[in-house]
Amino acid sequence: MDYLEIKGGRPLSGEVTISGAKNAALPIIAATILSEEEVTLTNLPNVVDIRTLLKLLTMLGGTVEHHGNIARINNRTISSTKAVYEIVSKMRASILVLGPLLARFGECEVSLPGGCAIGQRPIDLHLKALEAMGAKIEIRGGYVHAEAPNGLKGAKIIFDKVTVGGTENILMAAALAHGTTKIINAAREPEVEQLCEMIAKAGVKIEGIGSDELTIEGTGGKLLEFEETEVIPDRIEAGTYLCAAAITRSSITLNKVNPEHLTASIDKLEAMGCSFDINNDRITIYPAEELRPVNLTTLEYPGFPTDMQAQFMALTVFAKGESIIEERLFENRFMHVSELNRLGADIWLKGNIAAVRGVERLNGAEVMATDLRASSALVLAALVAEGTTNIHRIYHLDRGYDDLEGKLSALGAEITRKKAEK
């Protein structure tokens, strides 16, 4: 099993190009099921989750040509509507095939999902919404069995809480439904917005794109023809590199970013003393002379993203004072705390609130990644820890970061991927 060896204390400099957003690419890939025509997707990140979902399409009978950051997908030949446990258990986002498979074929079986152990993320909201659209759903043998032999029907869907995956699944299902679907309390993330725009360009009338109320006029079963789609930049990857610059007291430039998607992270970094030069799709960060403590609470977009909580926690370890971090979205998303404390951090937990007291230094140690974003927090801490830090279980990192060690090495970090001795 691979691990990362990081020797801390190296300043960063230079430029880094941000990859496409994994969380935008996954629903876009699932949406190609709504078409029998070839769909070209560009700017796909080279991460495990993308390859996993593309493999699922081929297991369903679709054809995929995937080279570099481009994929050509043709789902005319789909012959199976069963998304098997082998794939879905590896990645929660596989549940996104549920809506489009049911809408197109009138029935499907999708394994209950797996993925990062950051907390309960039940799909009951997805299922309740599909039932409101006329689907008959049973859970048997660890699979969701869904049927809508006469097609799905438009409905008014009110989500009890904001759900990104639920919004995406119902959006795709509604695209082929008979009649109009209205989604109340829809997720507003940029990744959801791009999925809306992709489907709208294929001829589906959607009102309210970018808002928390979406109105979708379904095609009544007519399949879609998608234009070539370029995946938006990854705002979480971009935020992670901004934190890498801030924690190493370095100035770097990010290329191919959307600054509007980074407002929450940039605001907090400015509050901590960093400054920025923003020019179209380029951001240069200038580090703080002394990091100030900050309080933050994770919220749905456009609030502070839960996917940046761990990285900012690593950063606040070096702030002069106490920072308070409240995690409101996932109950198990503080598993990186014990590992940061192993490096010498001073973090106290009480329920969903963490108090971080700034320290002067960290010391390298053996640490273990517990989930995707926790992994990146450990990388950030290791960049400034004295001595060598070895980060194990980095398969979490490979799920969501495109060549993290290569990009950091190019910026000046001393980071090496190694294989553990058996």
Place of tokens 């000046």: 412
**Tokens linked to 335:** 């598993």
Identity of residue 144: V
CA distance 57 to 69: 17
Closest alpha carbon to 194 in 212, 174, 209, 173? 209
Backbone phi, psi, residue 25, to 5°: -65, -40
Q: How confident is the model at residue 117 (pLDDT cuts 50, 70, 90)?
A: very low
For residues 191-201, give the mean pLDDT. Answer: 98
The phi and psi torsions of 326 (rounded to 5 degrees) equal -110, 125
Q: What is the CA radius of gyration of the chain?
A: 22
pLDDT in the model for residue 114: 54
Q: Read off the pLDDT of residues 130-164 as tens digits, 9 standing for 90 and up.
A: 999 999 999 998 899 999 999 999 999 999 999 99
pLDDT value at residue 116: 39
Q: How sure is the predictor about 331, in pLDDT bands with cuts at 50, 70 and 90? A: low
For residue 198, give both structure tokens: 């992709």
The burial class, CB within 10 Å (0-12 / 13-18 / 19+), for 277 is exposed
> What is the pTM assigned to this prediction?
0.95
Kindly name the residue from 108, 116, 243, 274 that is annotated as catalytic.
116
Task: Evaluate the omega torsion of the peptide bond into residue 302 and state whether it is cis, within 30 degrees of 0.
Answer: yes
**Distance between CA 292 and CA 347 in Å, rounded?**
16
pLDDT in tens, 257-312: 999 999 999 999 999 999 999 999 999 999 999 999 999 999 999 999 999 999 99
Averaged pLDDT score across all residues of the chain: 95
> For the sheet containing 275-279, what is the strand order?
13-17, 251-255, 282-286, 275-279
> In angstroms, rounded to a whole number, what is the distance separating the alpha carbons of residues 178 and 110?
23
When pLDDT is averaged across residues 340-360 and rounded to a whole number, the result is 97
Given a cut of 90, whether residue 6 has pLDDT beyond it is yes
| Cβ pair 20, 45 in contact under 8 A | yes
Tell me the average pLDDT across 22-49: 97
Asked if the model's pLDDT at residue 115 lies above 50, the reply is: no
Interval 49-63 mean pLDDT: 97
Task: State the Cα–Cα distance between residues 46 and 70, nearest whole angstrom.
Answer: 10
> Given this model, what pLDDT does residue 422 score?
66
Q: Which two tokens stand for residue 155?
A: 């409905």
Q: What is the dihedral of CA 58, 163, 124, 152, to 10 degrees?
A: -60
Asked if 116 is an active-site residue, the reply is yes
% of the chain residues with pLDDT over 90: 89
> Phi and psi dihedrals of 230, rounded to 5?
-100, 125
Amino acid (1-letter code) at residue 390: N
Between vectors from CA 27 to CA 22 and to CA 33, what angle results, nearest 5°? 135
Distance CA 72, CA 78 (A): 15
User: Max Cα separation, the chain?
Assistant: 65
Range scoring the smallest mean pLDDT among 148-162, 197-211, 369-383:
369-383
Distance CA 213, CA 401 (A): 31
